Amino acid sequence: MNSRPKMSRFDQMRAMASSMFKQRRKPNPALAISPADSDLNGKTVAFTGGTDGMGRVAVELLHKMGATVILLGRNEAKGQALIDELGSNVRFVHCDLVSLESVRSAASKVLADYPEIHVLVNNAGVNLGDRQETPEGFEAHWVINYLGSYLLTNLLLDRLQASAPARIVNVSSATEALGHINFDNLQLERNFSTGKAYSQAKLALNMFTIHLSRQLEGSGVTVNALNPGFIKSNLLRDLKGKERVGSILMLLFASPALVGADRIVRLAVSSAYEGVSGQFVFEDAARLPNPEALDDTIVERLMEVSRAQAGLEG
C-alpha cells in the first residue's frame, strides 16, 4: 500500500467545490513560463483534443513557441482550419478516441512519420448526455476519457523514451474526487449517470499516471496528471436534466480557455516541472488525488483490466 497521507473523500469534494467558485480570469503571472523554456524549436508535440477550446489555445501557444504539433483528432475540418491559421509545422492525424482501432492507426502514422516525440498531451475528453457504446462494446466515456489515451500513450511510449527528455501530460479533472472504480460495473450497464461515468474515467486516468510514473523511473520521461481548473468549453453541451446545472455554473464561474491552456503548456515545458513525475497538479500546485488512486491494489488491478481491454496483453 502507498504510505503517502490521503485526503478524505469529504476533503476532496470540498476542495473541488472551492476550486469551482474561485477561478482565475487570467494566467498567474508569477508562474509565467520563462523565455528559455519557451524555445521549442526542434521539439515535437503530439496533442489530442487540440482543435477546440482550451486545447486549441494550448496548441496555438506551443506552436508560437516553435514546436512542431501533431493534432490527433476526429474532426478533420476543424484540424485543417487550425492548420490554415497557424501555417507550417502543424499536421492533422485522424484519431477518433471512441475507436481503439482508430487509435492504433493514428499511432502507426505518427511513428512512421516522426522520429522523435518530446511531449504527448492527452487532452481529449467528453461528457455525453446518455450511455453510449463504442463499436468495440465499451461505454463511451470510459474509452474517450481514459482507455483511448491509455492505449495511445502505450503505443507511443518507446518513441517518447527514445526522445528523452520527454513529458506526458494527462488532462484530468477535479471530478476525479467523486470517482469510484467499480470493477463489477465498470461499463456502467447499471445505474448509469454522466457524472459517474466521467469521474470514474478521470480517476482511472490519474491511476494510470501514477502507475506509469513508476514504470518510467530513470527513463528521462515524466508523466503527470492535470486538473486545469473549471474552464469554459463545450464539454458540458450534451448534458441533460439536472446535470445541465453544470453548464450554468460554467457560464457564470469558469475561467477563460487561456487559463487552462497556460497550465497545460506549463506542465508540458516549464523547467519548474523538470524531473517531476506521478503528480496530480491541481490547477497550479500538486495535490493528492482521490484515495483510490493511492491504493496500489486497486491501481494494479485496473492496469491488468486496461491491458486486456486495450489488447496489450503479452
Angstrom distance (rounded) from CA 181 to CA 293: 10
Cis peptide before 228 (omega within 30 of 0): no
Determine whether 146 is an active site residue: no
163 near 116, Cβ under 8 Å? yes
What 3-state DSSP class applies to 120? strand
Q: Measuring CA to CA, which residue among 245, 292, 283 is closest to residue 18?
A: 283
User: Within the chain, where are the H helices?
Assistant: 9-20, 53-64, 76-86, 100-113, 140-142, 148-162, 194-215, 245-253, 257-269, 296-310
Joined grid coordinates for residue 266: 506549463
Angstrom distance (rounded) from CA 47 to CA 69: 7
Q: Which of 114, 146, 150, 198 is catalytic?
A: 198
Please give the positions annotated as active site: 198
